[in-house]
Chain A
C-alpha cells in the first residue's frame, strides 16, 4: 500500500485524518496499541506543521504512507517555514509547565524520526514504525 493524503494545515483536518489513518494501520496488521501510538505520533507531527511551519496560517500538507512487509513508513511534507523538530532538546519529565511534549511523544512512539535537510521548499519528516518490536 502506498497512499498520499493531501491535507490543509488546519486543526479541523486532524480528526478525520486520524480516522482514515486508523483504517490503513488496521489493514497493515498493527495491533491496537501500535495503532494508537502511531496515530498519536503522526498527529503530533501534523500539529507541529500547523503551529510552527505555517504559524496557524493556511498551507498544504502531504502525508505519504507506505506499508511494507516489515514497517509502515510516513513522509510528512509541508511548504512552510523551516522547523526541524529533531533539534529540540528532550523535555524534563514530568513537565513542570504546559507544552513541549509533542515532539517527545513522536520520538517515544516511533522507531525512527528523521528530518530531511535537503528538502528546500519546506519541511520533510520521515517516521517509521516497525511491525514487530525491533527496538
Chain B
C-alpha cells in the first residue's frame, strides 16, 4: 500500500493506494497515529484508491478516531469505494465516522 501525506491549509491529508489488510495496516496506523495524537489536529484520509479493507483496517481507523477525539481534533474519511463503504456499514461504523463524498467536502468538515 502506498501512503502519501500532504498538507492542505491546516489539514493533514493522507492519500492511500492499494489494499488495507493485516499486512499493510500497521504502517498506516503508525503514520496516522502520529498526526491524530497532536492536539487540535485535523486529519483527512482519502480512500479513493483503496479497493479492499479488512477488520485490521477498520480497527486502524477506529483507533485514529478515538485518538483524534481525545486530542480535540478532527478525523474525516473521504471517497470510499462502494466495496469499502459496505464493510463500514456491516460494522455500523458508517454511523460513527464522518464519511465525505469528496476530499474537498472532507476538508470543509474538518474545518467546521
Contact = CB atoms under 8 A, between A and B. Distances in A.
A98 B63 contact: yes
The DSSP consensus for interface residues of chain B is: helix
Contacts, number: 66
Interface of A: 11-12, 14-15, 18, 36, 39-40, 43-44, 47, 50-51, 93-95, 97-102, 104-105, 108-109
Contact of B22 (A11, A105, A108): A11
Given A36-B83, A43-B54, A44-B54, A94 B90 contact: no
A47 B91 contact: no
Contacts of A102: 54-56
Interface residues of B, number: 23
A43 B58 CA distance: 14
Chain A interface helix/strand/loop/mixed: helix
Interface of B: 19, 21-23, 52, 54-56, 58-60, 62-63, 66, 83, 86-87, 90-93, 95-96
11 contacts: A18-B19, A44-B54, A47-B56, A94-B93, A98-B59, A100-B55, A101-B58, A102-B55, A102-B56, A104-B91, A105-B55
Given A93-B92, A95-B93, A108-B90, A101 B55 contact: yes
Contacts of B21: 11, 14-15, 43, 47
